[in-house]
Structure 1
Amino acid sequence: MNARNPGIRLYIFDADDTLRRTTVPGKPCPHRPGEWELLPGVRERLSSIEWGSGGAYLGIASNQDQVAYGHMTAETCRGMFEDLIEAATGARRPDACIRFCPHALEVECECRKPKPGMLHDIMRHFGVSEADTLFVGNAPTDQEAARRAGAGFAWAWDFFGAGGG
C-alpha cells in the first residue's frame, strides 16, 4: 500500500479540481478528450501507490451533471475517467471502480455528492469498510460526502503535497 496512509485499502478520488483541471475556460469539467490535464503532484503521488492485488483499490466518485445537460455522453464521461486513471497512475486499471452522478442539478437523486451514494457503492464493490477508505476531494461537498459515508477524508492539496491539486 502506501507508507503515508497505512491501513488504507481503498482510495476514492473526486475528479475535477482534485485529479484534473479543465483546459477550456468557462467549462466546469471537460466535455471531450483533450480538454483536461492532470494537476501538479497527482502522477507522482498516485504512481507511488501499489494498486490492485496486494495493494490498494482505486475509485472515482464525481458529480457530472454535464451529462444530463447533453454536453457529453455517459460513455464519453466514463472513457475520460479511464484515461484520467491511466494518466494519473501510469497504467490502465481495469479493476478501478468509476461512479459518477449524471443527473441535472435540479433533479433529486441519491448519488449526487454530498450524499454518500457513490462512496457507499464503491466501498461495497470492493468489500472495503469505511474505516479502511479515504476519500480525496477539493470541495466542501466532498468532505460532507465522506463524513456521511463514514470514510476518512483528505483535501486534495494536502494529499498531493505542496503545489499539488
Structure 2
Amino acid sequence: MWPLLVLLDRDGVINADSPDYILSVDQWQPLPGSIEAIACLSRAGIAVAVCTNQSAIGRGLLSEATLEAIHAQLKEQVIAAGGELAAIYACPHSPEAQCGCRKPAPGLCQQALLDRHVLASDALLIGDSERDLAAAHAIGMPAWLVRTGNGRQTEAGQAPNQPVYDDLADAVKAVLALSQRDT
C-alpha cells in the first residue's frame, strides 16, 4: 500500500490561512471537506500527521498553550469524523532562527518519518507552498500541491509534472485511488 504516511501542511491545506497568523481557537476554521478527508485517510489505514511552521510563537504573538488548544480542536474534529491524527509537528521558530525544522528545511518531515518508521519513498506530503514541496523533495519524499491557501500562486512556478489538486479532499481521493490500486 502506498502511501503508508501522509504529511499535511496545516494553514492553507487543512484550515483557512491568514497573513496575520492563526492566533486563537476561534480563528482556526477548517476548509470545507478537509476534516472528512483526513478521517478518510485514517479509516483507510494510512497514517496522517501534520507538519506546520508556526513562527507566531517565535515572534511572540502566540503561546504554546494556545497552539496546543488549536491542535486539540483539530484532533477532536478529526476524531468526531471517525479518523485519527498520528501526530502534529510544529516548528515554533521565527525565520531568523535558521533552525532545521522550519520548512523548507526538512526537519519536521524527517522527524515524522523517524517516529512512524517510514521511508521517505513510502510517504507523501500535501502542501500549498513552495517551502512545503521543498521540504519533502529535500529528503526524496513525493509531494503534491493543493490550490487552496497559497497553492494557486505556488502552482504558477511549478514544473508541468508537479501533481496539483483543487483541495485536500480532491488530493485524498487521488491518494485513496492509488492506495487501493496498489493493494
If the length of structure 1 is used for normalisation, what is the TM-score? 0.81
Give 2:35's match in structure 1, choosing from 43, 50, 66. 43
RMSD of the alignment, in Å?
2.2
Query: Are 1:140 and 2:130 matched, yes or no?
Result: yes
Higher helix share: 2
Structure 1: 5+ residue runs without aligned partners? 1-5
Give the fraction of aligned pairs with identical amino acids, expressed as a percent.
25
Q: Is the 8 A contact 1:86 1:92 kept in 2?
A: no
In structure 2, give the amino acid aligned to 1:17.
G
Which of 70, 80, 87 pairs up with 1:80? 70
C-alpha contact (below 8 Å) 1:78/1:98 kept by paired residues: no
Which residues of 2 match residues 32-111 of structure 1 at below 5 A? 32-51=24-43, 55-88=45-78, 90-91=81-82, 93=84, 96-111=86-101
Asked if 1:17 corresponds to 2:26, the answer is no
Question: In the alignment, what sits opposite 2:155?
Answer: none
Distance in 1 (CA, whole Å) between partners of 2:11 and 2:73 is 14
CA distance in 2, matches of 1:83, 1:141: 25
- Are the structure 2 counterparts of residues 37 and 31 from structure 1 closer, same or farther at C-alpha, using a change threshold of 3 Å? same
Count matched residues: 151
Point out where structure 2 has 5 or more consecutive residues left out of the alignment. 148-164, 172-183
Q: Distance in 2 between matches of 1:59 and 1:47?
A: 12
Q: Against the structure 1 CA distance between its residues 85 and 153, is the aligned structure 2 distance closer, same or farther, given a 3 Å change threshold? A: farther
TM-score (norm 2): 0.74
Structure 2 counterpart of 1:3: none
Counterparts of 2:83 and 2:60, CA distance in 1: 27
| Counterpart residue identity of residue 3, structure 2 | I
Structure 1 residue 85, shift from structure 2 partner: 3.3
Which runs of 4 or more aligned residues in structure 1 lie more than 3 Å from their structure 2 counterparts after TM superposition? none
1:160 matched residue in structure 2: 169
Quick one: distance in 2 between partners of 1:50 and 1:68? 31
Query: Aligned-pair distance for 1:146?
Result: 0.7
